[in-house]
Amino acid sequence: MPFIKQRLRLLIMTKTKMNKYILAEKRGRRAENLARFYLMLKGFRILNTRYKTKVGEIDIIAKRFKTVHFIEVKARNSIDACKHSVSEKSKERIKRAASLWLQTAIKKQHLSQNYSLKFDLIAIVPRRFPAHIMDAWR
């Protein structure tokens, strides 16, 4: 059903709005791919990407040692702009989605009860390495 709603939204949009939407979507996917590659180089195991629920979305879910990281990826012109682009409302949505993911992961036994959680931010800035801000919020 969400796929149909997304397609209808695209049909309704004007051509210029649609071009901006498509460019933003491509930029976001490219940033997430770069972030995943960067995390794998740092020794993280990617558990899930683009996890969507009715309550929110998580860009990347990764694990390193006994810590599960819920990561928001932002592509902006500066690291400060990335930090400020994550609002309190979006932080709450990510927390609710993380709670749902944890419930299903424990039920499916992908994850034991012994772990810690972190909410991270990866800032993708032009002509620089990705900046991984660990434990960006709680």
Q: How much of the chain exceeds pLDDT 90, in percent? A: 20
53 vs 34: CA distance, rounded Å: 23
What is the number of structural domains in the chain? 1
Full domain range(s) for residue 120: 2-137
**Tens digit of pLDDT for each residue in 3-14?**
676 666 666 665
- What one-character DSSP code corresponds to residue 1? -
**Tens digit of pLDDT for each residue in 107-117?**
776 666 678 88
Task: Calculate the average pLDDT of the chain.
Answer: 83
DSSP string, 52-104: E-SS-EEEEEEEETTEEEEEEEEE-SSHHHHHHTS-HHHHHHHHHHHHHHHHH
pTM of the full structure = 0.79
Domain with residue 75: its CATH number is 3.40.1350.10
**Tens digit of pLDDT for each residue in 44-94?**
999 888 888 888 889 899 998 888 899 999 888 888 888 888 889 988 999
Distant-in-sequence, close-in-space partners of 68: CB < 8 Å, separation ≥ 6: 47, 61, 62, 102, 111, 115, 116, 117, 118
Q: Residue 4, exposed/middle/buried by CB under 10 A (0-12, 13-18, 19+)?
A: exposed
